[in-house]
Structure 1
């Protein structure tokens, strides 16, 4: 039996260069099997570490690194030995001949770098004060530098829908705009055109009047746009739209925000409403409160007219014959309303009326923020531009400007609609 060649003495560990002592079988620092350098089997804690049968016998092949027994894993400890069993035929004993210098490759690596296909979110630019042009605007809408209150989204609104347009402005005295409006165009069941406008004025003494006017204008407009194409008569559709608006405002009284703010001396959210629907041959108006509708013929030699009656103290005095109109509207109680939309309204009484004008004209739907400065129909006709039928947005802007020039004591909202409704697809010039 031939003898195995004597192992050559090593002065330093071939793996980590740690100095060795004579007779060392393993490196005390890294655990390297020093006998592997001589190509002989080495006993490790009483077992033999056999070279893998399929590894080529080459000095370029890095030797396997064996760990001390207290660091060696088992089949299920996650250290890379799963699937290597000492009792499998043709494999080395468990714990030997297995590399521990890297973890198993995962099936998929997580994305580390930003995906170039996804644009990074840009922070919203800070709002700059409209007054000092230097300070930032805080979340409450005030400048952190000069303290100036910033314009709110509803302070000034404009909208145009084909031949109908509306403008609303906060005015010069109120701290917010409590008016709201909505305009729209649709087709009747027979395909003929219809245009509409809803204008709502929040009751300032009520809780959340701005929310009330917004809810009412949206609900009424949605109801009209749903009913008219189904063949509902415009006057019936207007009545149903006012009822829908009333329900929407009533619902606000039960919301948590209102419940927290509600006190015995405060009213539930409330507003007034006035609206108009115009078809090819019919003009329908509806209202609750003291906002108004005016009729101004294109031919200014024909007389204009007011088409609504106020739900107000002054109107009741005139209707009862107790005062003439001049005396009633001069009284400080003149604008106290007797009808409104809201949970605390005495009784909902939607007013509707229909007209069949015999000539082209313009319909003006407005809050008292405008008609306070042009109360009589003749005054409204004098302020309305002559080309209002073809330039409704410009005309609405002119009317709002007239109220602001007069003092702007209240919120101002006005919608301008031509009669008859032009064919579908025809817009303002």
Structure 2
């Protein structure tokens, strides 16, 4: 999570390895690890980047074969736009690899005595055997346990850069965004059954605190622990609001244990909890006509009625500097959230947290609607309940995964300065006479 936001620069140079924007003075690319100190200043026109294709398959646009199959744009992209253009190589970039054919320029032979280029002249000792994961850049080196190529050193794409999950009654999407070098958000969605056999739906969303150490591990540990706690307590008959409280406590304990990792901190170190792994958490449970929310930090839950003529609502209050200023009457909401200190959080999960204060609330909606559970990477671009409702597509109640994709796209179109995670839970009012928790 960003503690402050800066306007996106318009004329940043780009990494020659992955096309990610670079900040002035960068020595390494934060996205792929490319050593920029060994790279001459790129020309004004974009360099051709070679990305390998499977053997025997011609690259798009090469030769006289049939045109490549059209790719459907992402839900938030306009027709005719290039899906994933923010991350991928520019349109028209050549694609090369073992067995590929087409009209490609050949590299000039190396000068006598010149050192071999590790990207094109792999060390035979590092050539991977069949079935081994190979580098996406040089297509020749093994990928080590840290996610880097042993041949050319290129960082491999992280699995968490973009994640999606859809169950029958809940869906979630998480994305790295356009400015962060990794995704420090995490989520968990699940369904279970209460003792009377009625369903319960769970969504947990966590946002790693970027100024802390290992924020990606903190968010993943918290999301997993909270989800597991709910899947254990709800079928036992624990009231959903109590179950949410216990789940937040379990999540906090899992994050605290990261600070006690003997590989990261020693018990005799008096400073071992300084800058400890930390994250925020927000969650929602739908069970027996109840909607229960719980949170610590500034991730949020919104309520968007299916009937858009009914007013939406925000169901959580931030643990943040801005929220404190508004609550104390020192600023109005617009002034507080315009301040550069607005996103400084006052509550989080982590060994260095002042005190764990889980917040929970229970609601009983009288009409169908959509529950939006999200990090500030989304609500920064749709802060009020009305703005969030306007960003939610009309068919999100019937197509929650599509709705979550559209909302992530809304944040990316707005600048994508932070990681973005959102879970959508369509809420249906149970028939009269159904039991309640």
TM-score, scaled to structure 2: 0.65
Q: Which blocks of at least 5 consecutive residues in structure 1 are unaligned?
A: 1-121, 424-429
- Return closer, same or farther for 1:136/1:367 CA change in 2, 3 Å cut-off: same
- 1:162 Cα offset (Å): 1.6
For residues 308-327 of structure 1, the aligned pairs below 5 Å read 308-327=316-335
- 1:394 Cα offset (Å): 1.0
For residues 268-307 of structure 1, the aligned pairs below 5 Å read 268-307=276-315
- 1:159 Cα offset (Å): 1.0
For residues 388-399 of structure 1, the aligned pairs below 5 Å read 388-399=396-407
Correspondence 1:225 to 2:231: yes
- 1:280 Cα offset (Å): 3.5
Correspondence 1:346 to 2:347: no
Q: Give the counterpart of 1:413 among 414, 417, 421.
A: 421
CA distance in 2, matches of 1:421, 1:233: 19
CA distance in 1, matches of 2:430, 2:138: 45
CA distance in 1, matches of 2:416, 2:429: 31
- Return closer, same or farther for 1:275/1:421 CA change in 2, 3 Å cut-off: farther
| Structure 2 match to 1:82 | none
For residues 174-323 of structure 1, the aligned pairs below 5 Å read 174-259=180-265, 266-323=274-331
- 1:128 Cα offset (Å): 3.8
- 1:136 Cα offset (Å): 4.0
Show CA shifts across 1:214-266 (max 9, x none).
11111111111111111111111001100111111111111023217x96795
* CA-based RMSD: 2.2
- 1:168 Cα offset (Å): 0.6
CA distance in 1, matches of 2:273, 2:285: 37
| Structure 2 match to 1:160 | 166
Are the equivalent residues in 2 in contact too, given 1:235–1:354 (CA < 8 A)?
yes
TM-score, scaled to structure 1: 0.66
Q: Which blocks of at least 5 consecutive residues in structure 2 are unaligned?
A: 1-128, 432-437
Secondary structure of the equivalent of 1:257? coil
Secondary structure of the equivalent of 1:309? coil
- 1:385 Cα offset (Å): 1.3
CA distance in 2, matches of 1:184, 1:370: 22
Show CA shifts across 1:35-69 (max 9, x none).
xxxxxxxxxxxxxxxxxxxxxxxxxxxxxxxxxxx
CA distance in 2, matches of 1:372, 1:348: 25
CA distance in 1, matches of 2:393, 2:152: 40
- Return closer, same or farther for 1:291/1:123 CA change in 2, 3 Å cut-off: same
CA distance in 2, matches of 1:201, 1:162: 25
Count of residues in Structure 1 that have an aligned counterpart in Structure 2:
300
- Return closer, same or farther for 1:301/1:135 CA change in 2, 3 Å cut-off: farther
